[in-house]
Structures are given as C-alpha cells and as structure tokens.
Homo-oligomer: A and B are copies of this chain.
Amino acid sequence: MLKPLGDRVVIEIIETEQKMIGGIVLPDSAKEKPSEGIVVATGAGRILENGTKTTLETKVGDRIVFSKYSGTEVKYDDKEYLILREDDILAIVE
C-alpha cells in the first residue's frame, strides 16, 4: 500500500458522471477534472516550526472535495491514485 508522508493524503478518485454540454458528450480531454475522492491513507502530519507535529483532520474512508488541479497522480497495482496535501482538501462530504 502507499503510505503518504507528512501532511499528505492518498485518495481514490470518484469519476463524476460524464459532463454533457448542450447534449454532446465531451471528449475526454475537455471533461472537467474529477474533484471528489475517498481517502485511502493519511500521513503522520506536518512538523511545525516549534517541533510539534499536527494531526490530520481527514481519516481513511472520508469522502472529500478537493481543489481540481492539485496533487500528483500515481499508478500503483494498476490502480490510479492521487496524492495531495491535506491543505488542498476543501471539505469532507458528510
């Protein structure tokens, strides 16, 4: 499994249904990047300038919304994941 470092989080991307504008199915390239995902692993936290370590707000299983163009795509065991900093996560979908 991927164990993220520091304040990073690994998520599985939730493909939102194909976008239709005026009835035409968009070619893949123009499709709005998916911005929802499920947390599959969380880092140990960020070290502050006074030496203490923060704990992350998100936990495994959380459904989240994130800034569309953040993070790095990583392929592992033939599955696509996104590794991003928790600061790029906007909200948890409860």
Q: Indicate if A18 sits at the interface (CB-CB under 8 A).
A: no
CB distance from A17 to the nearest CB of B (A): 12
Interface range, A side = 35 or more
Q: Indicate if A34 sits at the interface (CB-CB under 8 A).
A: no
A65 to B8, CA, bound (A): 13
| Chain B positions within 8 Å of A4 at CB level | 90-91
Asked if A90 and B8 sit within 8 Å, CB to CB, the answer is: yes
Asked if B48 and A5 sit within 8 Å, CB to CB, the answer is: no
**A residues whose Cβ falls under 8 Å from a Cβ of B:** 1-6, 8, 10, 35, 41, 44, 47-52, 54, 57-58, 65, 67-68, 72, 74, 76, 83, 86-87, 89-94
